[in-house]
Each structure stands twice: as structure tokens, then as C-alpha cells.
Amino acid sequence: MAQETEYQFGVRWNVNGLATGTHIQDILLDFKGEPSAQNTMLPVTQYVRNGRNEIQFYAWPVPFAEGHEIRLSMEYWESDQNPNTEAKTAFEIMIKPEEEDVEPEVVSRDPNAPLQPVENSIRWEDHVGHFRLHVPFQNRQQMPTWCWEEGDVLKDNDATRDSLTREYRRLHALFAAGDNDALLAAASTRTKELARASGTPEDYVRDRFSYSMYFDNPDIYQLDDFPEEPMTLNLGADNRVAWLTTKGVSEPIRFNNVSQEGRASYVSLYFTRRDGQWEICR
């Protein structure tokens, strides 16, 4: 049995005037589609496995301007510490993307940290319209085996997309019915694993992910109709995690804000499939 996690982990990025997309194990963590100044850290303990891991960081618009800079780091802290003030930097990558034939540079590294960069495999690649920074790293800390490591390997085809669409539609019906308990029961694996990763009680995590805010304020939040057109299937974590999107990175279940036209809150769900059954993993 895996021992309890000693450190918790986060990914931090700092950019000026760029749009970005941040992934770990090819699972989307964050998307900011408009160029902006960003200094953001997100917890990722629940996405870090034993051995080799990878961050994928997308940046645009292209061409980059003079003065643009990307800094990306992995942070770690003990469970009783405040990550906002007490996190330590395991390593930091820096790149100035406007320079021709530029290479990412490891500008700092803590040799005692549990996370170590695989320096000869860090890459900055042109993907036509955006660039992608690949940052592989080794984790030397013993971790649990997470649900996204154990799901069935999924095929990128219409059958997988259509099957997952049916599961989204089933959950959309639960949202329409305001059945918060059934929705949280469907996400019980997510609750258990996030509680373990963060060192907090399951009841706290369950309350944090409760959808009652939407159901208790129908004058503010209105569930949008389920999309009828075929959606895009996205796969991550070695094709063991799946989610659907409509236009861009928009997710199919959303609540429109009645008081602010054009504003909406999207329900982010990441699925695995085991023995033919879909399960909310993250």
C-alpha cells in the first residue's frame, strides 16, 4: 500500500501579455484565452504520479513581442504549510519566446526537492498558431495510485465520444432536477482522492464541490440546454482520461448568469472508464 504523501505540489506560471493553456499529463488545468499578465499557482498533487510526469504549457499569440517572458515552476510544501507564503520552488524554467532558436533554461533547481526536471527532454515547439513548452520531471516521492492511472485505455473515435455524451446527458438531467446528492455520489472517487491529496476531510471537499449554489439561486443561475451538435472528444493521461468540449475549450454543462449577459459558469468534469462504466475522476 502506498504511504501517505509527505509534500503537496503546485505548478506556477508567470507571463506578461500572453494567452495560455496549462496542462499536466495532457489534462487541462487552466485556460486563459485573452493575452494578459498572469502570476498563477494551482495545486496539482492529485495529478502527480510516481516517476516521470509532464507539464504542457501553451502560449500565444504568435509572433511573440520583445519583452515577452515565460516562467514556469513546480512548487512543494508540507501539508500544514500555507502554499501562498511557504511553498518552496523545486525548479523553475524560463524562456524569452521572441528570440530566434530560443531554448528553455532551467534557472533554478533545488537538489533536495522531491520533483526534479528532466533537463535534456524540456522542449519548446512550434504548433502553428501557438507554441508549446513541454516540461517533464521526475517525482521521487511515493504517491498513491490515482484513478486517472487505472482507467481503461480509450480509443479516440466516435463510439467513445457518443458513449461519453450519454453520460454527460445523464448528469445534465441530474443538474436539471437539482439533485445535488446524486451528483456528489457520482463524484465520490474525486472526493476521496482530492481529500487525500490535500490532507483535508472528505466532508470539506464534498462541500467545496457542492452544486447547491446553483440550485439555491435560480434567479441568478440558469442551466443551459444540453448541446445537440456532436462535441469534441479530448483525451489525456495516456488516453485514460476523457472530457468533451463544444466550441474551443467550453464544456457542455454550464449555468448562464441571468444578471450578466454573456457570463456563464462551466461544470468541469474529467472521466475515466472502468469495466464499461464512466466515472468522474477529477
Give pLDDT, residue 50.
Answer: 97
Sign (positive or negative) of CA dihedral 237, 239, 241, 246? positive
Query: For 265-280, how does the pLDDT look when each residue is reduced to its tens digit (9 = 90+)?
Result: 999 999 999 999 999 9
Convert the pLDDT of each residue in 187-211 to its tens digit. Answer: 999 999 999 999 999 999 999 999 9
Alpha helices, DSSP H, located in 151-217:
158-177, 180-186, 188-198, 202-208, 212-215
Residue 5 confidence class, pLDDT cut points 50, 70, 90: low
Residues 210-235: pLDDT tens digits? 999 999 999 999 999 999 999 999 99
Three-class SS of residue 89?
A: strand
Count of residues making up the chain = 282
- Cβ burial of 194 (10 Å; 0-12, 13-18, 19+) is buried
| 35-56 exposure pattern, b = at least 16 Cβ within 10 A, e = fewer | beebeeeebbbbbbeeeebebb
How many Cβ atoms are within 10 Å of 173's Cβ, its own excluded?
A: 12
Decide if 17 contacts 96 (C-beta within 8 A): no
Estimate to the nearest angstrom the gap between the alpha carbon of 254 and the chain centroid.
18
- Four-point Cα dihedral 233, 234, 239, 241, nearest 10: -100
Residue 267: what are its φ and ψ, rounded to 5°?
A: -95, 110
Q: Which residue in 61, 56, 53, 8 sits closest to 29, CA to CA? A: 56
